[in-house]
Chain A
Amino acid sequence: MDSLNTYLFIAAILFSLGLFGVITRRNGVAVLMGIELILNAANLNFLAFAKYGGMNIVGHIFALFVIIMAAAEAAVALAIIINIYNNFRTINIDDVRELQQ
Chain B
Amino acid sequence: MTGNMIMDYSLLILFLPLAAFVIQIFIGKRLPRQGDWVSISAVITTLILAIAMFASMLIGHDPEFAQEASFTWLDMGAFHIELGFLVDNITITMLLVVALISTMTHIFSIKYLEGDIRYSRYFAYLGLFTFSMNGIVLANNLISMYMFWELVGVSSFLLIGHWFEKESAADAAKKAFLTNRVGDIGFFIGIMLIFSTLGTFVFSEIFDGIAAGKMGGTVLTFAGLGLFLGAMAKSSQFPLHIWLPDAMEGPTPVSALMHAATMVAAGVYLCVRLFPLFTPDALLVIAYVGGFTALFAATIAITQNDIKKVLAYSTVSQLGYMILSVGTGAYIAGFFHLVTHAMFKACLFYGSGSVIHAMHHALHKKHDHETDPQDMRNMGGFKNKMPVTYWAMLISTLAISGVPLFSGFLSKDAILAGTLSFASHHPTHFLLPVFGFGAAAITAFYMFRLIFMTFHGQPQIAEIADDIHESPKEMTFPLILLSSMSIFIFYTLPYFNPFSDHGWFTELIIASDAAVPGNPSAHYIAEGVHHAHYTAMALSLFVAALGIFLSWTFYYKKKLSADEWSEKLKPMYNLSLNKYFFDENYNRFLYQPFLKLSGLVAYIDWDLYDKYFINGFGRVTKVLSFFTGRLDYDGLDQTIVDGIGRSVRQAGGILKFLQTGRLQSYLLFALLGVVIIVLVQSF
Give residues in A with beta carbon < 8 Å to B.
Answer: 19, 22-24, 93-94, 97, 99-101
Contact = CB atoms under 8 A, between A and B. Distances in A.
Interface string B300-341: 000000000000000000000000000000000000000000
Contacts of A100: 660-662
Contacts of A93: 663-664
Contacts of B663: 93-94
B408 to A, nearest CB: 53
B602 to A, nearest CB: 12
Nearest to A22: B667
Interface string B647-671: 0000000000000111110011001
B664 A94 contact: yes
A46 to B, nearest CB: 21
A22 B661 contact: no
Contact of A19 (B660, B662, B671): B671
Interface of B: 660-664, 667-668, 671
Contacts of A101: 661
Contacts of B664: 22-24, 93-94
Contacts of A19: 671
18 contacts: A19-B671, A22-B664, A22-B667, A23-B664, A23-B667, A23-B668, A24-B664, A94-B662, A94-B663, A94-B664, A97-B660, A97-B661, A97-B662, A99-B661, A100-B660, A100-B661, A100-B662, A101-B661
B40 to A, nearest CB: 37
A94 B663 CA distance: 8
Contacts of B668: 23
A8 B664 CA distance: 26
Contacts of A94: 662-664
Nearest to B657: A94
A97 B667 CA distance: 15
8 pairs of A and B residues whose beta carbons are closest in the complex = A100-B661, A23-B668, A94-B662, A23-B664, A99-B661, A97-B661, A100-B660, A23-B667
A47 B224 CA distance: 51
A94 B661 CA distance: 9
Contacts of B661: 97, 99-101
Contacts of B671: 19, 23
Nearest to B664: A23
A52 B73 CA distance: 31
A26 to B, nearest CB: 8
Nearest to A31: B664
A100 B662 CA distance: 8
Nearest to A94: B662
Contacts of B660: 97, 100
A94 B668 CA distance: 14
A48 B663 CA distance: 32
B533 to A, nearest CB: 64
A33 B660 CA distance: 25
A94 B662 CA distance: 6
Nearest to A16: B671
A29 to B, nearest CB: 15
A93 B662 CA distance: 8
Given A23-B668, A97-B662, 17 more contacts: A19-B671, A22-B664, A22-B667, A23-B664, A23-B667, A23-B671, A24-B664, A93-B663, A94-B662, A94-B663, A94-B664, A97-B660, A97-B661, A99-B661, A100-B660, A100-B662, A101-B661
